Amino acid sequence: MAKRDSSSPTPMPTILRYGIAVLSVAIAIGLAFFVLRHFEAILTPFLFAVAATVWYAGTGPGVLAIVLSVLSLNHFFLRPFFSFSPIGYADLVYLAFCTFCALAVGWVSAVRRRAEQELRQAREELDAKVVERTASLQRSERYLAESQRLGHCGVAAYNQTTVLYGSEEIYRIWGFDPAQGVPSRKAVFQRIHPDDRDRLNAEVQRAVGEKRRYSIGYRIVLPDGTVKHLESTGQPVFSASGKLVEIISTQLDVTERKRVEQALRESEAKFRDYAESAADWYWETDPDHKFTRVTDYERLLARGFAPVSRIGLARWEFSTDVESEPEKWELHRSILEARQPFRDFVYRAARSDGSLVYYKISGKPVFDANGEFRGYRGTGTDVTAITRAQEVLRENERSLRLAIDGIAGLVAVLAPNGELEAANRQLFEYFGRSLEELKNWGTNDTVHPEDLRRILELVKRGIASEIPFNFELRVRRFDGEYRWFENRHVPILDDSGRIARWYLLLTDIEDRTRALARLDQMQSDFTHINRVSVMGELVASLSHEITQPIASASLYARAAQNFLNMQSPDLGEVREALAGIVDNAGRAGVIIDRIRDQIRKAPTRKERFDLNAAINEVIELGRNAIIKNRVWIQTRLSEGLCPVHGDRVQLQQVVLNLLLNAVEAMDSVEAAPRDLLISTRQDHTGVLVAVHDYGPGIDPEHLDQIFNSFYTTKPSGTGMGLSICRSIVDAHGGRLWAEANEPRGAIFQFTLPAA
């Protein structure tokens, strides 16, 4: 519906319309009084008043104006003036005339108003249609601009000298700013690629000369160096006289399409190069699974060979293993019938010379746009060399298994990462387990629980080192007994120097381990015997040391009795006497404890201790022997010496043996002083202990023999002392040796690692 125009006249209120009638008659009275009565045209103002009222206010107010006009004429202008007289013929004539005039004017006014109303309505409808068409046009322009933007297609108009118009997309494609106005032909021409300008200009000129449409592709270069590809279609427009008015052209940005086409061409070229040079080849089959294309066949033909053609054949029609491996082919054909992809299908065929060849192919089904099955396409490769190498490898593995099964020991083959791959028959029989069970040796009871954590760490480090390694452990036999084994791992390298596999040899050392244990026990017994023997040599001097504090304690006891027997006991003296008894008893107890520690047979017990303090205790034990042999002993014990970790009694035995040997060696020296020096010091390896004597020394030829078992230079010696000392030091991770002392004598030294 058309809306009312805001500029059309507003309907006049009723009171105003009748007010116009009164006002127009009043104006007519005034005019009749002051102007028209001199011209004897009294009726004229009233006729105009009636006409004006009818014209502007309508028929009702017009009737009022007629009545008021008749009354005014009768009252003001007919004799007697200013009074009403009866209506006469003249008044009726005037009334009829006025009525006629009012009807005539009312009809004309109604016609005018109706015409104005129709005109206003027509104008409102026209305005509404203009607005609607304008909005539709603007919407169409927006759609067009958006479609141009989405399609990268713009519209332009130009003539020989000027660019007349360009859409928004044209500005975007060419890189111009719409706010700066329409660009010049020169600016546009400069952005055309230099190699394409002449060709484009020539094509446009030919189209204008032939008055036809043109289509051409060319490039433009933006100020930032960006190159775009455009496809332009233009239509010259001519006037009636044949003069060129303008050229309207569409310009499509096909840069992205060109890039895709270029990428596609490069991809096709790469695929072509790959198909011609790679060992793999491409194949296609039709819905009946018959080959329609095989690039390997095409490549061989291009090289001048005469290969067997597979075109038009299904692969099972020329394969030579269909009868020997029917299950394989049945499964393959069921996959094809189900239209499913497949991978790494290997089959055998024959070459043109009769030799056998193995092919490995993979493929996927192909469907058209309607979902119709069109066949298969895929790749294939010649795996003849690999297949034959695998056959050789399987044969070698079979021969290897026969070989390792013939070995009397337990042999296993491990992967480069240490995982068990195979083992000989003897190993399975010994453990009574399967290969899968033995692969999990780290989580079951194959290895003794006390050894498991240590072995896991050793294997991890050994595999990472990539060098041979070995260790000892206890493993469980099929009957449940754990026995000691020595495991030796040896890596086998491939041609590139990398580990291909590990060989593991397990040797039963249970009997050897038990023999070594018995040997250790015997050595421990010898050590104890040696200790007891040494202490036996010191019994005489130690008995004097024990007797002296006992005698002193006895004297203190008698003195205490005497003090108690007095009439007035002296308790202070008694207390001192009792304290003397306690001190001397303590001295005797310490000496006895030292003797008991040295002679008792106790298992090895390693701990951290102060080596200097242990040496001082040894010197106290040998004090009487030192004094008896008139030896002057000195010590140079390093302060701040690091503690050592070991068996205190065994290491004291070593020092005591060396000390007594030095004292006995200097017993034969009469003229020279009998000096004995015991020293300790810290070095980079740990602690060094040295015993210097000034005896006759040791023959240099015998320095390497004095530590051998049963070798002695003393008439009453057993030849076991120094041998036991060396074994004790070796067991503690140290080293014991002897060398000449200057100017005479010998130096016995041993090292111990710091704790």
Phi/psi region, residue 364 (left: phi>0; alpha: psi -120 to 50; beta: rest), is beta
Q: Supply angle C-alpha 334, 339, 342, rounded to 5.
A: 75
For 435-446, the pLDDT digits (tens) are: 888 988 888 888
Beta strand 153-158 with 420-423: parallel, antiparallel or unpaired?
unpaired
pLDDT at 287: 93
Q: CB–CB of 755/684 below 8 Å? A: no
Residue 80: cis peptide before it, omega within 30 degrees of 0: yes
Lowest mean pLDDT among 367-381, 552-566, 605-619: 552-566
Q: How many CB atoms lie within 10 A of CB 502?
A: 24
For 312-327, the pLDDT digits (tens) are: 899 999 899 999 999 9
- Rounded to an integer, the average pLDDT of 593-598 is 55
Selected residue with higher pLDDT from 691 and 115:
691
The band of 565, judged by pLDDT with boundaries at 50, 70 and 90, is: confident
pLDDT at 470: 92
pLDDT of 539 higher than 60: no
For 246-256, the pLDDT digits (tens) are: 888 888 888 88
Amino acid (one-letter) located at 144: L
pLDDT of 544 higher than 50: no
pLDDT at 3: 45
pLDDT at 6: 45
For 467-500, the pLDDT digits (tens) are: 999 999 999 999 999 999 989 999 988 888 899 8
Pair of tokens at residue 143: 């759609």
Residue 560: which residues within 8 A CB-CB, separation 6 or more?
573, 574, 577, 578, 581
pLDDT at 5: 45
Dihedral sign for Cα atoms in the order 43, 49, 55, 57 = negative
DSSP tag of 11: P
Q: How many CB atoms lie within 10 A of CB 411?
A: 20
Give dist(CA 229, CA 730) in Å, integer. Answer: 89
Q: Please report how the helices 510-537 and 648-665 are oriented relative to each other, as an axis angle in degrees rounded to 10.
A: 50
- Rounded to an integer, the average pLDDT of 338-348 is 93
- Rounded to an integer, the average pLDDT of 709-731 is 71
Q: CB–CB of 202/210 below 8 Å? A: no
Q: Which residues are paired to 645 by β-bridges?
A: 608
Amino acid (one-letter) located at 140: S
C-alpha radius of gyration, the chain, whole number: 66
Pair of tokens at residue 304: 């001048």
